[in-house]
Amino acid sequence: MHVELTEDRVLTFVVYNTRSHTKEPFETIEDGVVRMYNCGPTVYNRQHIGNFRSFLFADILRRWLEYLGYEVRQVMNITDVGHLLHDADEGEDKIEAQARREETDPKQISEGYTRDFLADLEALGFREAEIYPRATDHIPEMLEIIQALIEKGYAYQVGGNVYYDVSKFERYGELSGNRVEDLEAGARIEVNTEKRHPADFALWKCDPKHLMKWDTVLGADGFPGWHIECSAMARKHLGDQIDIHTGGEDNVFPHHECEIAQSEAFTGKTFASYWMHAKFLQVDGGKMSKSLGNVYTLDDIEERGFSERALRYSLIRGHYRQPLNFTWSILKESESALAKLDDLVVRVQESVEAGGESVADSTSRDREILDAARDKFEAALNDDLAMPQALAALFEFRTAIEKEPLGAEAAADALAFLERVHGVLGVLEFERDELDGGTVAEIEKLVAARTAARDAKDWGGADRIRDQLLEMGITLEDSADGVTWRR
């Protein structure tokens, strides 16, 4: 479907589909409506900023689809049972293991961390999904699929356990590029001798030691496998066929590969038209892991004095298919970038307020720079959400109007455009009194005046300006390369 942005410009959104390994034009099953399922958190601990990179990618995708005029039906699940340690078929449930550590019960763990998760989403400016379904509320829906898969010969029962026979599903491996033969060779040391093939995966497990369990036709003391949960929840809330399914890069295999095998064998239809995955957030060039002590949550970011807005910007500013390296200096850079965007908004607002009398009427030059900014911004995001280029369009726009302000009429259109930009990025500020300090131009003027005072050895004058800046919430750092400032 082509979406009309304005009367004279028709643009097409192109996305990278992990399943086809190529960029494809985006088309929905139902005209104008997008059904999107995002794999959500396993609620056994506070989500870290890496998790939020993946979720923010989904948020930006949803916002961009809305900018294009689609109605987006977004579902993000909450995994509160069945996700075992190491994403495996054997071993302890992540939530139960945490309950043991915190000496409480699994329900307390999942409810507490779900609350934290939803609060973090709000703090980071997420648009709310239509629903955040919990796996434990969908056991009958999972059983329906599991029983049908047994009847159709895709799954087999060994005692109370049910496994999916990967050799029965021809397209197994299409998403991840894994071949069943290679998986089998790699899994020779598999301890589970019940499986027909080492690459088979569990749909349902019986384990008396497991705390969360259900008494069902498949046997007593059972609980679902992690993958079947998402097949069942997506179907319940969005139907047999959806447009987009997202997750982090680690979800490609085994999680999403297994979801495809389950859903498509069950319905006989293509499950999701587009599979999209965000690359991981790394820390100082390496893995984020508890043992390295570099797993950060929103609280850690705030403790260091950075805002949620700066974190949101840091996590969305790269391309979602490029790994992103997190350092504390990125948060500082993001603050400077946000100060520039705030300045852009203020400049445009000032031009609107100046009205037709004091500012020259909008000229074709004004139209040209506004159209160039909008075209570049839209073309970038239409190209598989190329965020760095989209942001560059905004900074170039600021540079252009810094040289010469817009006329009032073009400024009004520019303000409307920036409000739509905010609808996509969720990081702009339109209320002047929400801004810390002054505009970038005001601040830079004071910084230059202080440097001039110092050059003239007027130390008292230089200190007074530094204090004035401090009152505006601006700190200065002097170095051999000159002065830098931050809010």
Residues that bind Zn ion (CB under 5 A): 39, 230
Please state the closest distance from residue 278 (CB atom) to ligand AMP, in A. 6
CA–CA dist 241, 304 (Å, integer): 44
Half-sphere exposure of 423 (CA within 13 A, CB side): 15
Token pair 């996509």 in the structure block, residue: 424
Judged by CB under 6 A, the residue of 1, 111, 280, 340 near ligand AMP is 280
Determine which helix (DSSP H) or strand (DSSP E) holds 216, and give its type and residue range. strand 214-216
Residue 50 binds what, of ligand AMP, Zn ion, none (CB under 5 to 8 Å, by partner type)? Answer: ligand AMP
CA–CA dist 474, 109 (Å, integer): 41
Judged by CB under 6 A, the residue of 71, 122, 250, 477 near ligand AMP is 250
Q: Which is nearer to Zn ion, 39 or 391 (CB)?
A: 39
Length of the chain, in residues: 487
Q: Which is nearer to Zn ion, 230 or 359 (CB)?
A: 230
Which one-letter amino acid corresponds to residue 325? Answer: N
Please state the closest distance from residue 392 (CB atom) to ligand AMP, in A. 24
CA–CA dist 451, 53 (Å, integer): 39
53 binds ligand AMP per the rule CB under 6 A? yes
41 binds ligand AMP per the rule CB under 6 A? yes
CA–CA dist 239, 113 (Å, integer): 28
Residue 190 is encoded by which pair of tokens?
């598999």
Give the CB-nearest residue to ligand AMP.
248
Please state the closest distance from residue 454 (CB atom) to ligand AMP, in A. 44
Helix spans in 359-386 (H): 364-382
Neighbours of 317 (CB within 10 A): 18
Q: Which is nearer to Zn ion, 145 or 230 (CB)?
A: 230
133 binds ligand AMP per the rule CB under 6 A? no
Q: Which is nearer to Zn ion, 42 or 98 (CB)?
A: 42
- Which stretch in 182-190, 244-252, 342-350, 379-387 sits in contact with ligand AMP by CB under 6 A? 244-252
110 binds ligand AMP per the rule CB under 6 A? no
450 binds ligand AMP per the rule CB under 6 A? no
Residue 230 binds what, of Zn ion, ligand AMP, none (CB under 5 to 8 Å, by partner type)? Answer: Zn ion
Please state the closest distance from residue 51 (CB atom) to ligand AMP, in A. 4
Q: Which is nearer to Zn ion, 39 or 212 (CB)?
A: 39
Identify the CA nearest to 319 among candidates 76, 56, 40: 56
318 binds ligand AMP per the rule CB under 6 A? no
Neighbouring residues of 311: CB distance < 8 A, sequence distance ≥ 6: 49, 52, 124, 298, 301, 331, 334
CA–CA dist 421, 110 (Å, integer): 36
439 binds ligand AMP per the rule CB under 6 A? no
Task: Give the DSSP letter string of 207-221.
Answer: -TT-SS-EEETTEEE
Contacts with ligand AMP by CB under 6 A lie at: 39, 41-42, 50-51, 53-54, 247-248, 250-251, 278, 280-281, 288
